[in-house]
Structure 1
Amino acid sequence: MATSLIRGRYVICEAGTGESESRVISDGAVLQRDGLIEAVGTYDELKNLQVDEVIGGPQFLVMPGLTNAHHHGRGVSTFQFGSVDGCLESWIVDGWGRRPVDWHLITLYTAIQMIKSGTTNVMYNHPRTPTIGMVEESEQVLRAFGDAGMRTAFSVYYRGQNRVVYHDDEAFLSGLPADLASAVRQYLAVTDLPEDDYFSFFESFRESHGLEASGGLVSVLLSPSNVQWASDDFFFRTKELATRYGAAVHMHLVESWYQKEYGVRRWGKTPVAHLADLGFLGPELSCAHSVWLTDGDIELLAAAGTTVCHNPSSNLRLKNGIAPVNAMISGGVNVAIGTDSTAINDDDDMLQEMRLASKLHRQPGLERPALDTHQALRMTTANAARPTGFDGRIGTLEPGRYADMVLLDWEAMTAPYFEGTGDVASDAVNAVVYRGKSTHVDTVLINGEVVLRNGRSVKADEEAVVAELREQLSRPIEQETLATRQMAARLLPYIHQFYDDWSIPSDGPHYVYNGRA
């Protein structure tokens, strides 16, 4: 039986909630056996145990592995593929012209990058692409995460309607020039997927790749991509299957103001209220973005136990605004953090994303809310772990949990001087949130296995992966891709015209904290 003792100057067992302080052990240690945590305590209490290896030491900080709560794969960013940041609704169509990729190779690359910033688990939401087929793509993705040693909550998202603008596809296409409408129909047809086929895929893929088949490393989720992109019947069927299998569900929700406005125009209520009326909200559900929420929406999400996956970088880059995170937390919503494959520096660095969130939600005024460091760390650990489908076994360091841990170089992180406050828990957590960088991540364990040592991947050759990516992506761009880009460029003015009368409120609060109107 493989055993190891992981030691740190500080061991952060669980990040605090803001109301409760983080649990931190000075000169602590964690005993893991065959991928499960067996004991947590001081080093003096555990140092005499017989183990195969002692990892870390007093120059390190040990904490739970981070969960990236919303991600779409491509470690080579959309910007690197030619899609400059813009308004979400036009940016999506512009992205149709991204060239096809080797899904195993590019996923392996992004997994390595995430692990290097302390991410041990990812909520991966796979886009349907017009390439080799959903099953083969999905298998390539999971094989890559397996090759990197990463834990994965995996889903393929479903879009069945309103795929060009937030309106019936045929009704919109009928107003385009005939040749352009025909080209768009052909593009959309490649990713068409009957609802029955989607649900059959979920059932078979869950059986062949899920928790039992993967030894606890893969959880397979359901994913209606967003409320405007799937029928009510699809949501009913998703809820029924999720209940039957005890599966988690992941989706996008009110990412942009236009998506909120669609709900008001379509149903006379917000998208969140519509999902509540369908009986779709629940603790198994996590919703990415959720920027444009009303106070009533927040109450509905909190009452249902639904998680919101906050994506600060993506929301800023794609002109979606700033989510009301403080209002959600004070209202009782479980809030997590993800990079959405669109981190501020194109690097999927969860330490940096956590720091961005902690700074972004500091409202002006002595008595106004501010996200504290304990809450920020919890949003990437215990909160983010809750909706992943791993049965509550990640996100904290305690007996019975999976041994997913990160060791940061405390001395490098606090150099050249760190006075601290004298409060052990605050000093440890503050140092991570204020100062932690991917360059400080020394060692990462997933399921008790060391997958990063001395800042380098143990299981994959990063240099070889980068070289292969560079070689593949330096080849001439495919003619079909160039044709798709030309089609998208012709289509964009019509998309702008469609949204002309969807005027976004111009008053300050709607921009700064979206007003929750």
Structure 2
Amino acid sequence: MTAETIIAADIRINARWLIPVQPANTVLDHQAVLIQGDRIAAIVTQEEADRRYRAKEVIDLPHHVLLPGLINTHGHAAMSLFRGMADDLPLMTWLNDHIWPAEGAFISEEFIADGTQLAMAEMLRTGTTTFSDMYFFPEIVAQLAHDAGMRAQVCFPLLDFPTPWGSGPEEYLVKGRAFIEQWQDNAFISPAIGPHAPYTVSDGPLTEAVALSKETGAAIQIHLHETAFEVADAMEKTGKRPMARMAELGLLGPNTQCVHMTQIDEADLGLLQSSGAHVIHCPESNLKLASGLSPVQRMRKAGVNVAIGTDGAASNNDLDLFGELGTAAMLAKAVAEDASALSAHEALAMATIAGARAIGREDELGSLEAGKLADVIAVDLSDPFLQPVYDPASHLVYSRHGRQVSHSWIGGVPQVQNGHLTRIDVPDLMLRVQNWADKIREQQSR
């Protein structure tokens, strides 16, 4: 009888449960994830791992569930420094009277660097391994994420008016092209195009954005149909719903990510279906700003890929994607008047494989499968108030314990170990955050 060949691995992670996401609705018991380099080499039972594998490092997590790193597909990372600054206001009042003036006063390269690092620390600590950012100074965000070993889709801003990053659409597009060229084909950074919204970007720049996307393959992310007012105002001014205008300009396609989409009629749904565009659902931001209720079940039944994002911490007010999933699942049920509208497993899929699909990386991210990148998180379910555990997927979504994330690896590199960040100096970061808070308070008191 021939002995089995022993296979070497860098890391072996043993866990009580594993949710691979693909196949769907699956929970596996007593599994081992084997990591070689930056990839998952195998997922096998612990008994098989004992027989066939030898690893340089073995991590035993007897009360934990392993799953793919979460993908936060929409946010404005540096706005973490505006967290709680202008609460309980409708969207346009919030933007016009508070956020845009604050951005004019404070946005700088230093602000973006410190605010983004604060956001990355929060996201990593709560299970996010890939995030999408749409804000100013994208080159700084990209470099920070890359240096920290975190994956990010970074969208350069495009608006009709001047901002701290540029004088207008022409400069944004020139800078944006250079940004795409710098980061294209990078394993960590996916450069993308971020026209803010139909009401802040005119046809000319949008047409140029479409051409740039076709030329480079860069995705387009845009706030779309966020409020009823946005749609009504567009109808009054142009006679067209914003989505119809986007379709006419060629902006909708498989490379397009439509953020919010709370206002959807049959024509809008048909455009989503025919174009293959993705929807990014931001339930907590939409609720807090009273923007509207996105019909998630209706879109998913129509075959639309719906991913999830937190939006910025200024309108959420946290970046804990597990909390977002709980809100999304319960809100979907209420909107559809159907308790089965979005299950715990389906919600987890929105934050993993659906997010990977939206950013064009489903072949590498979004599920625990041999050959995919080793972006893995472990959640500790030993807390007394999480007992008993009948279904770990249910606890992950409905019990909302993002801070129970104990370990995180991105490409096999540890980012969180026993609840502690490994690559961000939190005490030093907190000193810089406090300095910004003091400046903002002083300006507000004038």
CA contact (8 A) 2:135 2:156 kept: yes
Structure 1 letter corresponding to 2:82: T
How far is 1:387 from its partner?
2.1
- Report what 1:292 is aligned to: 263
- Report what 1:229 is aligned to: 200
- Report what 1:370 is aligned to: 341
- Report what 1:46 is aligned to: 49
With structure 2 as the length reference, what TM-score do the two structures score? Answer: 0.89
Q: How does 1:434-445 map to 2 (within 5 A)?
A: 434-445=398-409
User: Distance in 2 between the 1:365 and 1:138 partners?
Assistant: 38
How far is 1:75 from its partner?
5.6
Distance 1:384 1:236, change over 3 A: same
CA contact (8 A) 2:153 2:192 kept: yes
- Report what 2:146 is aligned to: 146
Count of aligned residue pairs for this structure pair: 432
Q: How does 1:146-295 map to 2 (within 5 A)?
A: 146-160=146-160, 188=162, 193-212=167-186, 216-295=187-266
CA contact (8 A) 2:261 2:294 kept: yes
Q: How does 1:27-176 map to 2 (within 5 A)?
A: 27-47=30-50, 48-74=52-78, 76=80, 78-80=82-84, 82-93=85-96, 94-98=98-102, 99-100=105-106, 102-127=111-136, 137-160=137-160
- Report what 1:319 is aligned to: 290
Distance 1:4 1:299, change over 3 A: same
With structure 1 as the length reference, what TM-score do the two structures score? Answer: 0.78
- Report what 1:408 is aligned to: 379
Superposition CA RMSD, Å: 2.5
How far is 1:369 from its partner?
5.6
User: Distance in 2 between the 1:299 and 1:365 partners?
Assistant: 19
> Which one of 16, 25, 44 corresponds to residue 9 of structure 1?
16
CA contact (8 A) 1:105 1:144 kept: no
- Report what 1:464 is aligned to: 428
Distance 1:158 1:315, change over 3 A: same
What CA deviation, in whole Å up to 9, does each residue of 1:453-479 have, x standing for no partner?
01110111212211221134324767x
Overall identity of the aligned pairs, in %: 28
User: Distance in 2 between the 1:307 and 1:387 partners?
Assistant: 6
How far is 1:106 from its partner?
1.7
1:306 aligns with 2:281: no
User: Distance in 2 between the 1:344 and 1:377 partners?
Assistant: 22
How far is 1:15 from its partner?
5.6
How far is 1:286 from its partner?
0.4
Structure 2 letter corresponding to 1:86: L
SS in 2 for 1:221: strand
SS in 2 for 1:23: coil
How far is 1:54 from its partner?
1.7
Structure 1 letter corresponding to 2:233: Y
User: Distance in 2 between the 1:56 and 1:46 partners?
Assistant: 13
User: Distance in 2 between the 1:375 and 1:352 partners?
Assistant: 15
Provide structure 2 residue ranges, at least 5 long, that are not aligned to the other structure. 1-7
| Range 283-292 or range 383-392, more displaced | 383-392
User: Distance in 2 between the 1:233 and 1:322 partners?
Assistant: 31
Provide structure 1 residue ranges, at least 5 long, that are not aligned to the other structure. 128-136, 162-187, 421-426, 487-517
Distance 1:200 1:364, change over 3 A: closer
Distance 1:391 1:439, change over 3 A: closer
How far is 1:433 from its partner?
1.1
Query: Which of the pair has more CA radius of gyration?
Result: 1
- Report what 2:4 is aligned to: none
Structure 2 letter corresponding to 1:68: N
User: Distance in 2 between the 1:432 and 1:56 partners?
Assistant: 20
Q: How does 1:501-512 map to 2 (within 5 A)?
A: none
CA contact (8 A) 1:219 1:390 kept: no
Distance 1:476 1:200, change over 3 A: closer
Structure 2 letter corresponding to 1:447: G
Structure 1 letter corresponding to 2:49: L
How far is 1:145 from its partner?
2.2
CA contact (8 A) 1:36 1:401 kept: yes
